[in-house]
Each structure stands twice: as structure tokens, then as C-alpha cells.
Structure 1
Amino acid sequence: MAARLNYRSIAMSHFRQEFIRFAIEREVLCFGEFKTKAGRLSPYFFNAGLFNDGESLKQLTQFYAQAILFSNIPFDMLYGPAYKGIPLVAGTAIALAEMERNVPYCFNRKETKDHGEGGATVGAKLQGRVLIIDDVITAGTSVRESIALIRAAGATPCGVVIALDRMEIGQQTGRDSDGLSAAQEVQQNYGIPVAAIASLDDLLFYLRGNAAMMQNLQAVQAYRDRYGIGKD
């Protein structure tokens, strides 16, 4: 049993490092000085919208599918919040089908349609346990709206899967230490798990082992030390 758990841990670590490498190579994860929504100056920036061609979207959603399977979150269908969640949820459904897990999916409209098929969503009917697919969690607005829409349809939100967990103190705590991250706030407020393909700690691990990226390590570590959640 211990050997199987160790193998699983190694496999998870490997695919997280592969994701970080992939995101940097695509310049989706880049380094410099960037102002976040919280007004903090971050030494790195992640923009999932730059996975903007067929090959990169295919690879990205394969990472999502792996993260979902590693998470062991029980679910019946996928949901993607507009707009970034639309290609993510469709691509992830395809990737899961290629892994022999065929599940329905849907996404929302920004404005409810009152003609044709009508309704607030497109795709499969919201029912059962619904897993939300998004890029990141910042203020949690997208997740909050998604949960409300899913519950209004009579379905059950069962979890959230994101690309990168920044592991920063969230906005509800209002302080820069001893608080919860945005992902942890979602878990606490709604009682559902949040899984990520990779985290800020995975990024730091990657930087430590990559000589060409060492110049970014000090700034990212300092940011982690100042704004990051505790290392349990």
C-alpha cells in the first residue's frame, strides 16, 4: 500500500512539474512585475487565455483531466463558467473521454436567452454532482456565481478544478498573514474541495531545479513568504 501511495505521489509531482514547464515555454507563465487584483506587485503572472491554439489547448486540458483523476473528487458532469471556462470545460471533457471517462458538460451564457432553446446554459442539463472547471481563483466571484447557478438548477456543486493555485492570502481575511487562500475560502464557505494542476510551491520547486530560471527564484520566494498561506 505504501509503495502504491509513493508511486502516486511521484506521478503527481511529475505531471505538476511538466505543467509548469509547459506554461513557461508557452509564455503563459511569465516573470517580471505585475499588479494583481489585490493591488500586490507579483513577480510572476499566469494568463490561461494565452493557451490560444489547438495544440496548447489540447495539452492544457489533458493536464486538467489528469488533475481531476488524481483528485478523486466524485462527479457526474463538468461545468465551465463563461468565458474562459468554455474552451476549458469542452476540452477537458474530450480529454477525459480519451481516458475512457465520458461525461456530459455545459457552460453558461452571460445573458439568458429567451428564444430558440433558451435558458442560461448551453450543453447538457445541469444535474447530479457538478465539477466546476476554471483557470484560477482570485476574488472567488466566478466560483460563487457558478455555485449559485448550479444549485438553482437543482444540481450539486461538488468541487472546483483550476490550473494554478497562487496560494495567496485571500481577500476576505483582509490581512497579509495567518489567513486563508482564495481556494481555501471557497472550500470553507461552500464545503467543496478545490484541486489544482499545480501550485505556487510547485513553481518554486521548478525554479530551484532549473539553472536558467534561478534569477526568478528569489523574487518569487520573497512573494511567497510575504503573501503566501502557511506551509502545513
Structure 2
Amino acid sequence: MNVFVLTGAGVSAESGLGVFRGSGTALWKRYDPMQLATPEAFARDPATVHEFYNARRRNLIAASPNAAHAALVRLEAGLAQRGGALTLVTQNIDDLHERAGSSRVIHMHGELLKARCASCGAVSDCQRDLGVDSRCGCAGALRPHVVWFGETPLYMDEIYAALETADLFVAIGTSGAVYPAAGLVREARMRGVRCCELNLEPSDNAAEFDDRRYGAASEIVPSWVDVILEK
């Protein structure tokens, strides 16, 4: 059995990382994304953009994976033992899947603990604060290695190819509001793949899913993994 899992901010919320949409504490209800998460914002006021992502980077470094992350590691191992595979695609820019033990994660929206040169495009590990004086070896300005509004998500060809071999599509902790990620469930359905949503509450595209389970990710993801591995 090949399982395609798409994770969003909800899978990391119980680790203390904020979600972007939803409740009144969601990041994009507290901050204007057009002032913090666009190429134009970075060009206009790089200091403010760096300040926002520096705070998020420090928060991430202090965080730890939760039971939902651990359950997906268990799913990966269990599927491999049965001759199947897990494709784990995340909209999250954190590294909690990797820290939990997932062997391969496709970060379609980039990674917060990496920096990218705005001139040559080189990507490097980065756990320090960045500022307007942070430079690449080519002297180009460094920016967070994250996909901003108006930019194209990463690895889309690889993601669509993985959908071709999936037997089950599962979205965990996603809002269903951000495209092209929100459109992956429809792509899966067009291929005849059964679709399941695991979320704190129904997503914007909940009607697209065949099965739905709602509750805290640290509770519903481990129990769902138990069911899958018992089949």
C-alpha cells in the first residue's frame, strides 16, 4: 500500500508552532502577510521581514516533535515492512518531521532552518538570526528559504508523480485554503484515489474527502495510523 500524506500547520500546532489560518491566534490574523511574506515586502523592508522570521526560527529551534509526528514515522516503517511506501509532503517550513525520524520529507513551501541567496540561489543551513547585512559567498543578500506569496511551490513535478502511485491520500492539519496544496485532494480523486482528512476542524475543502476524522492531531493521527497498519 502506498500512502500519500500532506501535512499542514495543524500537525505542528501542539508543538507550540503557530498556525497561519483559523483561530484568532493564527499568524495571518495577527500580521499582514503582504508586509512579511512576499518578495516585494522583502525588497521594501528586509529588516522587518528578517525580524519576523528570526522570531519564528528561534521558536522552532526550541520546539519538539509531538505524537502526530512520531505516528507518521511509525507509519513509514510499517508500510515499508509490508512492501509499501509513504510519501510525506508538508506545507510546513519546520523540521519537526525530520527530528521525529521521518527519513524523507518533501518541503513544498521551503525550510525555515535554511537560507537562500537572493542573487545566485544557493541554499545553505541556517539556525542563526539573519539581517540586512547577512550575505552569501557571492555577496548576494540572504533571505529565508521559504516560499512566499506570489512564488511557485517547490518539487511540484515530484509531488504529482507521487500521486500517480498512491493508493490513499491523507491531509493532516491543513486549512484547505492554500493552492496548489489545497488542490492535491482533487488531483487524487481524479485518479480514483480514496481521500481522508485528519484535522482539528473541517477544512475549506472538507467536502472533497471520503473519510474525515476531527480532533487534536496528537490523538487522531496515532489512532488512524493504528487502523492503517492493522489492515
- TM-score bucket (shorter structure): 0.3 to 0.5
Task: Return the structure number with greater relative CO, CA threshold 8 A, min gap 6.
Answer: 2
Per the normalisation by structure 1, the TM-score is: 0.35
More helix by share: 1
Per the normalisation by structure 2, the TM-score is: 0.35
